[in-house]
Chain A
Amino acid sequence: MIQANGLTKRYAQNVAVDGVTFTVEKGQIVGFLGPNGAGKTTTMRMLTGYMPPSAGTASVAGFDVVEKPLEVKKRIGYLPETPPVYPDMEVGEYLDFVAHLKGLPAAECRKKAEYAAERCQVKNVWGKLISKLSKGYRQRVGLAQAIIHNPEVLILDEPTSGFDPKQILETRDLIRSLAGDHTIVLSTHILQEVEAMCESLIIINQGRIAASGTIDELTHRDGTILEASGVGAETLRETFAQVPGVSAVTLTEDGEKLSFSITTPGADLRAVLARTALDKGANLLKLDTANINLHELFLTLTAPAVVPAAPAVETEEETAA
């Protein structure tokens, strides 16, 4: 449904997005995850046809965003980071205007506007001025605006920012309920949100894709963490190393407690390893997979890259020469 190929956005001073390539299948919910300023918004703006890429191509529903922008725009619903609402309009007036703007037949505009309002639970404020609405309501009016023309693709830039916890849950439910008919790309820097909503994940850092895949794929690590006590450290280590399927065992001793990190490529050997430890007469304190959580993954991937100092100085000298 969405294809981006080497998508790049360069400004005069910096590169905001640098060669981003990804594909989103029909009906998926994909999360763009990254720290602030990573290039999420810019990537989304290029997908919506708001700004053209400096290099690379992107297509939505089979239409190139540069060559056929109108076709793309007809098929996209977009909620920018600040909901694009007019404070001096009433909710109904605004949604009716958006329906016309999206090119819906004049006779249907009112009906579609009402349906979108109902779907996003803003029907009860239909006659209210948008300037009088709370932030949560405004965001939902923004969401209603995005789905009004029943687009194939929804692009939501931080759809739950500024909500209270109850509204966050409601919005998540709403977005999930939209997933069947729509392909959804949403950006966020809230990790629970990704876990709660997204089937697959694209982590962006400094304009590049740091990792992508399903949450399971990204956080899965082959191996077992095992803590035990009451037995000699070395005996236990050798026993583990001899278990078929184990490729490496590392041991950390903390007083009585022995912490093993056991690498088992392509297999989950937790049961076998536990039994082995018990057979040796050890007290089993902890048993877990070596999977990391999203939080750790995010922090490792988005940690500022350590730039070696020496080569930088060399380049400076070169340019000076």
Chain B
Amino acid sequence: MRNVLTIANKEIRSYFNSPIAYILIAAFAALFGYFFWSLVYFFVQAGMQAQFTGRSMPLNLNELVIRNLMGNAGILCLFMVPMLTMRLFSEEKSRGTIELLLTSPLQDWELLLGKWLGALVMYLSLLAFSAISLIFLFVYGKPDVQPLLVGYLGLILQAAAMLALGMFISSITQSQIVAAFLTFFLLLLMWVFEWMSGMDQNQITQVLTYLSLVKHNESFIKGVLDLKDVVYYASVSFFGLYLTARSLESLRYRG
């Protein structure tokens, strides 16, 4: 466990030693702020319209603002994860530092778990900046806390699964650009498998719908904690970590 933390710590430091952490944080905070501002704008307008026409509309802060906000933050993940994972192993390979890691007294699983954890913590620190906007919701409104927390849990689980897949792709190439592009392509593909749910249902579309990354986030966004979605994200994460372990093993054999 100590080795895992050593590696995770090093990963977090190297994000913050390079501009990437700051660029991602700035971009995430700006976009999330914009999402928040526009959603609140429409919410306020809908409220004024309801008052103006005299019809009482069920205006729910959770439904109209937080759900959409969580959904949009999920989409941001699609763009941020490749940037977080592209360097995890490719950079070590191209710099030769992988030789230090693989000749130090630690197990392969400790290495990849540490890297995955480091990337996850980096994602959490991005996500922390979304709280700035949400503080205003709590100051001026009364949203339900519980669905919000479930929504955040969903975002974190989704990111964990995507990071594990991204880490695997980073472990098969020396080039960060290739890793980023392949990861983005794979995640986008898994994202749009969701469309299959609207097509004729047969075995293929059912399986692909099940594999969709975004499909399993729907219940979290609604504030519903569903075990089968948790299982899905956990298994995708495990699958990504397992593939990374095999990829490291093959790296050892091929040199």
Contact = CB atoms under 8 A, between A and B. Distances in A.
B98 to A, nearest CB: 8
B104 A101 contact: yes
Interface string A99-134: 011110010000000000000000000000000000
A52 interface: yes
Contact of A82 (B14, B96, B102, B254): B96
A42 B105 CA distance: 19
A70 B104 CA distance: 8
The contact size tier of chain B is 20 to 34
A200 interface: no
Given A70-B105, A73-B103, A103-B3, A85 B252 contact: no
B254 A11 contact: yes
B10 A51 contact: no
A10 to B, nearest CB: 10
B107 interface: yes
A93 interface: yes
B255 A80 contact: no
Nearest to A12: B254
7 contacts: A9-B255, A11-B254, A85-B97, A86-B95, A88-B18, A100-B6, A103-B104
B100 interface: yes
A98 interface: yes
Nearest to B14: A88
Contacts of B98: 84
B106 interface: yes
Interface string A71-96: 10110101011111111110001000
Interface string B197-234: 00000000000000000000000000000000000000
Contacts of B99: 45, 50, 78, 80, 84
A23 B255 CA distance: 24
A86 B97 contact: yes
A31 interface: no
A48 B6 contact: no
B14 A84 contact: no
Nearest to A109: B6
